[in-house]
Amino acid sequence: MPKTRKAIYPGTFDPITNGHLDIIGRAGELFDEVIVAVATNSSKSPLFNEMERMELCKAAIAEVMPSAKNISVDSFEGLLVDYAREQKAIAIVRGLRVLSDFEYEFQMALMNRKLEDITTVFLMPNEKYTYLNSTIIREIAKYGSDISGFVPECVRKELEEKFKKN
Ligand code: ADP
């Protein structure tokens, strides 16, 4: 049987945005299987906890690409290369938006290749998402502005709830 070509798309996803979903869709067309891997040991202190971030990723994928059967959501702790080896992944997927992403991503990709000889594949989102990141979305939502063009409906609702409670 031919080998399943599996890729991992790691990130904080706090929360998942239309930019992330654009990358997931592209990766889903390139690989047999894509695991959206929510990082749980990030040094950042996320707004949404691990379970919430995973649930939002699942709900967003179901909402935006209901027919995609080769995408799953998981979480991981520790080194990404260890997780990639456990999963028998052949590639790590990362999104490249602007030049400022490049330096950090380049360094990580080379280090990961050194540690585990794993390839990182960079995908560019549709240009309308290049200015989008989770930090900006959280900031806009916090002050009650409309984020409906930037995140799926399920994420918009959860953000609204979160800031109502806070
Ligand atoms: P991290 O904390 O690892 O940066 P993120 O959840 O912010 O995690 O992002 C995960 C990946 O998705 C990164 O490769 C990031 O560059 C990419 N990404 C984030 N936002 C976008 C976007 N709007 N378009 C394309 N890629 C994106």
Mean per-residue pLDDT over the chain, rounded: 94
Instruction: Tell me how far apart the alpha carbons of residues 156 and 15 are, in angstroms, rounded to a whole number.
Output: 10
List Cα–Cα distances, 142 to 19, 115, 165, 166, in angstroms.
19, 39, 11, 9
Instruction: Tell me how far apart the alpha carbons of residues 107 and 85 are, in angstroms, rounded to a whole number.
Output: 20
Instruction: Tell me how far apart the alpha carbons of residues 135 and 129 are, in angstroms, rounded to a whole number.
Output: 14
Instruction: Tell me how far apart the alpha carbons of residues 149 and 95 are, in angstroms, rounded to a whole number.
Output: 19
Whose alpha carbon is nearest atom 18 of ligand 1?
95
pLDDT grade, residue 2 (50/70/90)?
A: low
pLDDT grade, residue 30 (50/70/90)?
A: very high
Evaluate whether the domain defined by 6-165 bears CATH number 3.40.50.300.
Answer: no
**In a mutational test of the pocket of ligand 1, which residue from 94, 103, 155 has the highest number of ligand atoms less than 8 Å from its CB?**
94
The residue that leads in pLDDT, 145 or 43, is 145
The fraction of the chain above a pLDDT of 70, given in percent, is 98
User: What's the confidence (pLDDT) of residue 166?
Assistant: 67
Sign of CA dihedral 65, 47, 55, 77: positive
User: What's the confidence (pLDDT) of residue 3?
Assistant: 84
pLDDT tens, residue by residue, 109-130: 999 999 998 999 999 999 999 9
The residues pairing with 34 across neighbouring beta strands, listed in sequence order, are 7, 71
What's the length of the chain? Answer: 166
Beta strands in the chain (DSSP E): 6-11, 33-39, 71-76, 91-95, 119-123
Q: Is the pLDDT of residue 1 over 90?
A: no
User: What's the confidence (pLDDT) of residue 46?
Assistant: 94
C-alpha 143 to ligand 1 mean position (Å): 23
pLDDT grade, residue 101 (50/70/90)?
A: confident
pLDDT tens, residue by residue, 61-89: 999 999 999 999 999 999 999 999 999 99
Q: Which residue has the tokens 């080998």?
A: 3
What residue ranges do the domains of the chain occupy?
Answer: 6-165
132 pocket-lining for ligand 1 (C-beta < 6 Å) = yes
Q: Is the pLDDT of residue 44 over 90?
A: no
Among 112, 65, 93, 91, CA closest to 4: 91
**How many CB atoms lie under 10 A from the CB of residue 107?**
10
